[in-house]
Structures are given as C-alpha cells and as structure tokens.
Amino acid sequence: MSIAYDYGVDDVWIANVGDLKPMESNIAYFLDLAYDYEYLGVNGQEKLEEYKKNWARQQFSKKDGSGLSDEDCDEAASLVDRYLDLDTKRLVEHVIYNTSDTCSDMYSIDNYREALNILEECDDIMKHLKAAFYQLVYYPAMAVPNVLKIQIYAALNNKYVKLGLVVANEYAKKCQEAIDLDNQLFDAYNNEMPGVVESGKKWSGMISCGQNYHIGLQQWNRDSGKLPDLMTVTPDASASEMQVLVEDITYSFNQTLTTGEAKLPSFNEVANEIFEIKLGTKGGSYDFEAVADAEF
C-alpha cells in the first residue's frame, strides 16, 4: 500500500478481506494506514511495533483499570505477531506432508532442521492466556501452530514407518493429540467462547466449517482438506541392531545404517550450523557411546 500511495493511488483503496476472522489486526492496520498515511506510512516500518502494541491496548485495556495491564497487552501483541508470522510463511491450511518422498508443500523434515525449528517455535507460544482476548489472540496463537504440528508429526510418522523404526508410533500419538486439540479449539471457538453473549456461540461458524476446510487442502476449493493417514510399527524385541540416521542433504535422512562409516556434511564453528545424528531401534535395545574428537 505504501508503494501504491507513492505512485499516487490515494483516492480509493479496496481490500479483498476474504475471512473477517482471524484477520482483525490486519484489517485494522489497513484501515488506519488509509486514514492517516502521513503518520503510519512515512517510515512506516519503524512504527509497526508501536502500532501493534497500541492496537492490543485499544482492544484489551480499560481506563477504569478493569482490563489488561500494558504489560499483558504487549504480550498479546507479541503473540498475535508470532502467529501471523507462522501463518504467512506458508498458509497453514495448505501445509501438507508428501508421502511420495518427493518435493513437498511443507517444511523439510530432513534438511537444515527446518521443520524441527518450526516445531520449537510452535511449542514456545504460551498456552495460558486470559479469556478477554480469546478470539483475537488465544485461538489463532494456538490453532495456527497446532495445524503445522499435525502435518509435521504426520510426515515424521510416515518417514519412520518406512524405515521400520518404532519412534514412528510416538509421532502417530503426537499427531493424533494435535488433531484432537484442533477439534477442541474449533468446538470452543464456535460453541463455548468465554466472555461473549449467547452462551459463547456469538461467532459460531465464523472461523471454520470443520477440519476438511483448514487441514491438508488438496486443491484451492475450501472443502478439499484431508486428515493425514497415520501408521504404526509393531516392535520386534529381537531386533537389537543400532539404526543410525545421519543428516545428509543428498540422501535426506531416508536410510538407516547398521555398519560401516557414516559422514555428516562438511561444517565448521564459524557458520554456526547444526547437523544431527539420530539413533533408532526396530524394537530391541542396545548400549552405545558417543564421543566427539572436535573442540567445538
């Protein structure tokens, strides 16, 4: 919009909002920018943090002191910002793991810890927020990373099933828990939202019509979603061989080694890179020792 304004498009701005919820903060910024471009648009990048905090205080604080404190409002603004960042990296309804071991439409579970870094970011978002900002902060801050978890856990489940490793069962469990949480969040938003009239059903139907509308969309039509297929591995107690997985950009963690030499990609302490060696089992147990010969 700043580019449009700089080129003289300043009479009428029209936005295709799509879904009103949960886009409240985006819509508010669009309208405020159009209303007072000279304030928000000139060097606008430097004013974004201030705007986000002021927006949160406008929603949740009250002059009589009954609302949230400035500190809590700033935390709310931070959470909204983090969920929007996750959502705009890749629209979560279109994140879907690929079972054919080819290029997928999601974060890599093999290279550069991409999916694992997203998981860590999802886990770091607060889980206990005040009901006063349930619909603006709590739901999107919980729901967006949870949908990402569903697909990443499903991809890891699928991968380790193919390798016959029992850790696949743990990821199947985690994925199912995330699916169950998605149902709980959806039901609470539509039927039990705290702090609203009509027994919590004021916004029923506004956010989504079900999991086939926001999980694993196969096409652009809104009801083409599909929950991932989860599988399990039957443990074999007699299979006590150490299964070693070494991160490699070419083979992408998709094979296990039981003998021979395994090599990591070249790396050094300057680039601050992280590569992983994983040990797995098909059901049996074994002892191991890990020793490093580098100082870093």
pLDDT in tens, the chain (296 residues): 888 888 999 899 888 877 777 778 888 999 999 999 888 887 777 888 899 899 888 887 877 766 778 887 888 788 777 777 777 777 777 777 666 554 456 677 777 778 888 777 766 644 434 444 677 777 877 888 899 999 999 999 999 999 999 999 999 999 999 999 999 988 888 888 766 656 667 777 777 666 766 777 766 666 677 889 999 999 999 998 989 988 765 555 567 888 888 888 888 778 888 888 889 999 999 999 988 887 76
Do 159 and 19 sit in the same domain of this protein? Answer: yes
In a domain, 225, yes or no: no
Do 144 and 7 sit in the same domain of this protein? Answer: yes
Do 38 and 106 sit in the same domain of this protein? Answer: yes
Do 48 and 99 sit in the same domain of this protein? Answer: yes
In a domain, 223, yes or no: no
Q: Compute and round to an integer the Cα radius of gyration of the chain.
A: 23
Residue 293 sits in which domain range? 235-296
Do 50 and 188 sit in the same domain of this protein? Answer: yes
- For position 112, which CATH number holds? 1.20.58.2150
pTM comes to 0.65
Q: Up-side HSE of residue 253: CA atoms within 13 Å toward CB?
A: 19
The string over 148-184, giving b where at least 16 C-beta atoms fall within 10 Å of a residue's C-beta and e elsewhere, is bbbbbbbbbbbbbbebbbbbbbebbebbbebbebbee
